[in-house]
Structure formats: C-alpha cells, structure tokens
Chain A
Amino acid sequence: MFKRLRRNTNLFSVTSILAGLLIIIPMLNILTEVMTPASDAWLHIRRVLLQRYIVNTLVLIGLVAVFSALVGLFAAYIVTRYEFKGRKLLSWFLILPLAVPSYIAAYVYADMLSYTGTFSRFLRAGNIGLTIDIMNMSGAVFIFVMTLFPYVYMLTRSALQKQNAAFLENARLLGASRAEAFYSVVLPLLRPALVAGTLLVVLETLNDYGVVAYFNVRVFSFAIFDAWFRLGDTVAAIRLSAILMIIVFAIIFIERLIRGKRRFSGNAKPKPVPRMPLSGPWRFILPGLLWVIMALGFFIPLAQLLYYASLTFTDVFNTGFVFLVINSLTLAITATLITVFVALMLANYNRGRKSSFKHALLKITNLGYAIPGAVIAVAVMLFFIDLDHMFYPLYRLINPESARLILTASLAMLTFAYVLRFMAIGYNSVEAAYDKVGEKFTEAAYSLKTSKLKTLLKVDLPLIKTGLISAAIIVFIDVIKELPLTLILRPTNYDTLASSVFRYAREEMLQESSVPALVMILISSLLIFFLTHQKKGVTANVR
C-alpha cells in the first residue's frame, strides 16, 4: 500500500492534486451558500426578471455562435484554399482582432456611432440622415462576433490545413460538385474544430460583463452583477451563477454530442489540398470581404483609438503610466508562468494510464473557464481571507505586529484567481502539444530508467517547446485583457492597463482611456505576430 503510494507520488501527481484541491476548496465554499433559504431579492428576480435573462442569454449566445462560426469558417476557408495577393498577410492578420478586448470595441463603436462620433459626422457631412444605434442586442452580437471569431478561425484554419487532399479528390472523382464535396467531405471533417472554436466564443461571451452592461443587454453575467450589487444579495447572485453553470455544462455536453465519438484521423502525412488561384471578379470580392472583416474587427477601432490618443497623449502619459505598463506585464507574466507550469504538470499527470480519479481531477481544474469571473472573485477572496486566518500565527512569528490579512492584501490573490480562471486554456494548449508528439519518446526514456523530472526536461520540453510558447502567449493575452477579477481583487494603489481603461471609461472619459487601451492592444498584437511567426521547431520533424 505504502509502496504503491510512494510509487505514485511524483512531481506531476503532487502538483496536480494540490492544484485540484486549491481550485475546488474556494468553489465548495461558495456552493454551500446556495443551500440557504430563498431571499426576497431572489423571489423578486424569479418573479420579474429571470425569464428575460434566460431568453436573452440564449438569443445572444445563439446568434454569436452562428455568426462567429460563419465568419471564422469563411475566413479560414478562403485563406487555406485559395491563392491571392496578400493571403499570407491576411492569414495571420485575421487573428489580430483577439488583441482587442470586447469591452474596448464596444466603447469605441458606441462612440463612433453616437452623435459626436466619427462615423455619424461623416454621414452628416454627406447629408445622409442615417443613424445606427448599436447599444442593443444586435450591437452586442456584432461586437462579440467581430472580436471573438478568431477562435473559430484559428482552429478551423489549422484543421483545414491538415485535411487530406485525397478525400476531396475522391469525392470529385465520384462526381460530386464542388459544393457537394464541401458539404459532404470538408465540413464533416471540420466539425470538431468548428464546434470547439465556437464553444470558446460562446464561453467568452457568457463571461463578458463590460459589453452587456454598457449596452444594457440583460443576460446572465449582467444579472449576476446586478443581483450582487444593485440588490445587494450575494446569495441570489450565486444562485444565478449556478443556473449559468448549468447552461454552460449543457452547452459543453451538447458540444460533446455534436462532436461525436468519431475520430477522423488520416495518414500520418496528409497530402495538402492545393490552393486554387482566384479568377474574375472573385479575385477582388473574396479578399475584399476578408479585409472588411479585418477592418471591422481591428483597424477601425485601432484608428479611432489612435486619433483619441493623439488628443490625450500628453495628459495621460506620465511616469505613473509607465508603472501601469510594468504592473500589467509583470502580473501577466507571473500568472502565465504559473498557469503554464501547472498545466504542464497536469498534462504529464494525465499521460500514461488513465483513471477516473485523474479524469475527475482534470474536470475540476478546468472548471474555472466555465464559472463567471465575478463568482471566481468572491470565492477566491473568501478563500484567501481563510488562508490568512490560518497563517496568522506564522506571520506573527516573523513579525509580531503583522497585520492579519497579508496574502489578501497582496498580488498573490489576484494571481491565484487568474491561474484558476485560465487553467483550462493553458491545459488544453499544452495537451494539444503533447497530442502531436505522442508518448513513445517519453515511454522510451522511462524504460531507460530516466527520472520523471529529467525526462520532462531533456525529452518532453524540447519536443513541445513551440506548443508551450503558444500556450503561454494565449494565456498571457487573456490575462492582460481580463477585467472583473482585476478590478475586484487587485491590491491598494495598484492599477493595470485594463483597470485604468475601465476607470476612464467609467468616468465617461473615453478619449483618455485610449492610451492604455492602445498599449494593451499593441502588446497583444506583437505577441500574436510572434505566435504566428515562430519556427515550427522540433515538432515539425516528429510524427
């Protein structure tokens, strides 16, 4: 018994189990609150508001899912299957909208379309009496689709690149038209990637608070904050999150159903589908449409922000601003390193023999992505206050006059929350990297009696280096954009780029918020450039 325990105790299992515990304890803390009797506020919500929240949420995610899937798939298909001028540039440009946080896009578009906005003035100058009201459900759908479709685009693009030309050729030989071949061969093969990308978009949409609050679109994330803040009822807020979590799990379950158990794996070396040159008017129409998507999702907001930055740069840019950038960077780097490290441990732990315990543990550690940011914030804060109470004797030992809330007052709390929130993204990226190399090298090393740590350092890490870097970049971009956790959990006198954007926006000073917003977008864009241009590394030679 002891021997077995000892054999199973290693860096991977210990870190994984520790991570699982650290994630589940704060959540349990909060779930117990659901069991308390219904409050007045909850009865009020159920009677007057709940139906509306459910309908709105379903409409919003339904529309966002359909349109982002269409846009993402369209873009990926054109970029991978046709040859045209500017294709290479577009193929990574189309990921850039991810660098623009949805809430910033919402502020910018609402501003441009408002009476004083660039767009409305342009129309008035041309004597066109058209006004577009973006602050509603369709506006929110537009914002989410334009800033989140790259998730679908990235996944479907890489799936399309891996598709085997042989399948398509066979279909055509058997007399299928191009359209038939697309519907009966290309699309079914793409389904897992398409569904997975759309799922990411839906989860991000459900988690957003900035856009829906500004546009007053009453969906669940809005409802949770509303119950918590306006009605002052934490328990009602948690009940609403519980309902949201049920919706999320239902969606994930549906995704599993749609994706099905079928695995389409082809040859080790698929024959790539050759790109066709575009002819006639299509030469302009198809790339033109892609540039329109790029403009809406990236260049237009960017240009507007640049203009505002030119107005306010001198007011906003000072030494304090440099600290904002440093704060954002150090915080995001720390959170990213921890997330990727734990994700790596989890992925290693999950290799080899599968067990239901491992399976459950992974589900738990990946929970953060499905839980609304506000709930994570409350849970983490309560957890850290408990921790501080527990460690208080220790603090006293070091410094007899120590305050009790040490960790709570530090960056550790916020960093922990980030890790919890983005673990799923980190884990999935690391696992994808491991999937590509398989387990044969690792097993070979183990069979040669190399220790687990040494195998990890000498064998696995070099193999999955590029995958790890990608994982780190994706997590980093998410952390630097993150808003609700940052606002609620940051220590005193501590501002980041995101919190400063929000502060200016709350004071209705959009022009001033442009400088931090731009820096944030710039950092993320650079990383996306790096992500799409890094050398394929060793993995390219391993199959």
Chain B
Amino acid sequence: MRKTALFLSVTTILFLLYGCMLGVATDGESITVFSERHYDTDQTLFDQFEQETGITVNIIDGNADPLINRLENEGEDTMADVLLIADAGRLHRAKDKGLLQPIESDILFENIPSNYRDADNYWFGLTKRARVLVYHPDRVDESELSTYEALTEPKWEGRIVTRTSTNIYNQSLMASFIEIMGEDEARTFAEGLVANFARTPAGNDRDQSKYVVQGGADVAIMNTYYIGRMMNSSDPFEQEVAETVRVFFPNQETTGTHVNVSAAGVTRDSKNQEGAIRFIEFLSSEAAQSAFANANFEYPVNENVAVHELLESWGAFKPQDINLSKLGIHSYRASTLMDEVGWE
C-alpha cells in the first residue's frame, strides 16, 4: 500500500517534470507564429528576422482550421502572437471569432494596398495568388477561353477539372462569386460547372494539371503558383507537365481574375504585440517580400517589389475588385451552396 502510493507519486511527478521540461520557453524576446505556411524558404526569412531584431520566431505549423481551433481553445492563455494563413476567408473567420486584434501601423498601411487587408485592420495580406484556367494548347485554343462563367457552356461538358469543395481556394472562389454576382447567379454557375466536370473532384492542384496533360480533361481551375512550383520540381516529369500547359487569366474584360492572399494577423491575446507587429511589417517590407513571394511563385502585395520573371512572362492581369474580407463573409454560404449543387 505505502509502496503503491510512493510509486504512483513518483511517476506523477516524473510525468509533470517531463511535461514542463519540454514546454519551457527560451530566454530572450520571442514570438510564436501559428502558421499554415512553412516552406523551407520561409524559414530562411524567419531566421533573417531573428538576426535583424533579436526576436526568436517559434513556429507551430498545421492546417488553417486546426490552428484557429487551437487558438480558440487556448483563449487568453495562448502563446500564439501571429496567425499566418494562406486564405483571406479563414483569417476573416478568426477575426469573426474575436481571435485577432486590430493594428495601427503606417508601415503596413503603406506597403499593402487596402484591397488586400482587412477593412478594420485585423489582418494583412502578404502574398497574392491568382486562381486561373490552365489548359492544354493542343486541345483548347486560347480564343475559346474568356471567363469562369463561360466554362458552364455545354461545349465544355466533360472537359473541366478542379479540386474538391473542401478545398479552401475553391470555397473562396465561390465566395467571391456570391459577392460579385449574388447568390442565385453564383448557384447557377456552380451547377453549370459541376455538370461539365470530367471526373468527381479528387487530388491536389498538381494532380489537376496532370489530369489535363493526361487527356482526362482540357481545362483545370487552379492556383498560379503550382505551375511555378512544378516547373522547379525535383521530378523532371513534373517539369514537363508544367511546360506543356498554358495559363489563362479569365474575366479580364469583365469582373477580373479571382485573387486570394496569404495573410497574417496579431492574435487578441498576444503577449508580445510589438514583436508580432514588427514581424508582419518585416514580411511586408521590400527586402522580405521578394523572397517571401518569389520562393513560392506568388505575387508580392507590396507594389514596389518586382514579380518573379515567370509570373512576369504571363503578363499583368486584372484582379477581382473586391475587399478580400468578403471571401470570409460568404465562405459558409459558399460551402453549403457547393454541397447543394453536388460539388463533391
């Protein structure tokens, strides 16, 4: 009996020590970033920030929703200072849940055009990506392509491919349509698009372009940077696919191509607001933007920074003229609407 008690208390203490030992914060100033983005190139940039400011950057990376959920559960005790996510809609959700705080920063206001940051300054876009049409030049002539909406015409039956409706980028695309053309027309668009799908959606963005090259479909709706990433893939055959397909920016004569951002906000209960703001300012600066955006073949939000030459070769384009907060406002409706029309 006494031995049992002794044994149990010793194990309990050991367990607690083990827990505490691995959870101790490092000395010196630091910030913790809950990040959906964690490319190896981003890490280099974080290291650079560390060197310049002496502020250590701790990262927890994961998918957007679990991170937001974790932030919510941890409440005022959270260790997160910055939330960095690759979709404006999800940042809006975090703002909606009261997890972020507004920031006043002239540097950010100057570096980032107002379209690409929250109207109340809760989050700030850092890199832009366009959701474009990628087609096979042998089977589709550029002159046949015009708008997203035109893809619902009967001539495209069985020729369109894109990701699932669970994919954040497709939800934000639909949300932008709800904002621009209203719910009814957005539904008609989604119905028409689903009717023209070449297959039940599956796989990631790269898989969509491969399916086009394979001949399973003729046009894929996907993000620009995947083409850049495939061109620089370690797999030579992926490079071949990326060089075969062509990129088309739809809706140039009308409402503009859908654009989304990677964006960051300071958490409501950040223990180091100042460091967090400096971190976001750093990422929006001219010095960091080119590395931050180019490494992933995205468009920098800072207009003083040159775009990557590959993106330049595709030419300038007209983006949708909406504040990206709208992507978050309509995101739930966009999701249920896609379910209703049978977009899997």
**Taking beta carbons and an 8 Å cutoff, which residues of A are in contact with B?**
6, 9-11, 14-15, 18, 41, 44, 48-49, 110, 114-116, 120-121, 131, 133, 135-136, 213-216, 218, 226, 228-232, 234, 308, 311-312, 315, 334, 378, 381-382, 385, 388, 403-413, 451, 453, 487-488, 490-493, 503, 506-509, 511-512
Contacts and interface: CB of A to CB of B under 8 A. Distances in A.
A308 B235 contact: yes
B201 A492 contact: no
B340 A48 contact: yes
Given A308-B234, A405-B74, A453-B7, 13 more contacts: A6-B1, A48-B339, A114-B214, A135-B207, A229-B65, A232-B93, A378-B73, A408-B74, A410-B19, A491-B23, A492-B59, A503-B61, A508-B204
5 contacts: A11-B3, A44-B336, A385-B73, A385-B74, A492-B58
B200 interface: yes
Given A231-B335, A487-B62, A382 B235 contact: no
Contacts of B74: 385, 405, 408
B7 A116 contact: no
Given A15-B8, A135-B203, A405-B77, A216 B23 contact: no
Contacts of B32: 492
B201 A216 contact: yes
Contacts of B287: none
Contact of A405 (B61, B78, B344): B78
Contacts of A136: 200, 202
Interface stretch (B236-244, B275-283, B299-307): B236-244
A215 B60 CA distance: 27
A488 B21 CA distance: 20
Contact of A388 (B77, B203, B214): B77
Nearest to A338: B15
Interface in B104-135: none
B8 A411 contact: no
A226 to B, nearest CB: 6
Given A229-B66, A411-B18, A114 B210 contact: yes
Contacts of A385: 73-75, 77
Contact of B210 (A116, A234, A312, A405): A116
Contact of B69 (A6, A133, A234, A308): A234
A121 B237 contact: yes
Contacts of B166: 213, 216, 226, 230
Contacts of B164: 216
B241 A135 contact: no
A334 B17 CA distance: 14
B171 to A, nearest CB: 7
Contacts of B210: 114-116
Contacts of B63: 229, 487, 506
B218 interface: no
Contacts of B3: 11, 451, 453
Q: Which secondary structure characterizes the binding site on chain B?
A: helix
Nearest to A232: B93
Contact of A381 (B39, B73, B211, B344): B73
A11 B171 contact: no
Interface in B211-241: 211, 213-216, 226, 229, 233-235, 237-238, 240-241
A113 B250 CA distance: 31
A110 B21 CA distance: 41
Contact of A410 (B7, B23, B38, B233): B23
A216 B162 CA distance: 12
Contacts of A218: 344
Nearest to A229: B65
A412 B22 CA distance: 8
Interface in B69-94: 69-70, 73-75, 77-79, 93
Contacts of B93: 232
B4 A14 contact: yes
A234 B78 CA distance: 19
B73 A116 contact: no
A410 B22 CA distance: 5
A121 B210 CA distance: 12
A528 B77 CA distance: 43
A216 B344 contact: yes
Contacts of B8: 11, 14-15, 18
Query: Which are the 4 A-B pairs with shortest beta-carbon distances?
Result: A412-B19, A410-B23, A229-B65, A135-B202
Contact of B23 (A41, A315, A407): A407
B39 to A, nearest CB: 7
B139 interface: no
Residue of B60, B74, B234 with most partner-chain A CB within 10 A: B234
A9 B20 CA distance: 30
Contacts of B58: 492-493
Contacts of A315: 40, 234
A230 B70 CA distance: 15
Contacts of B65: 228-230, 232
Contacts of A15: 8
A401 to B, nearest CB: 11
Contacts of B73: 378, 381-382, 385
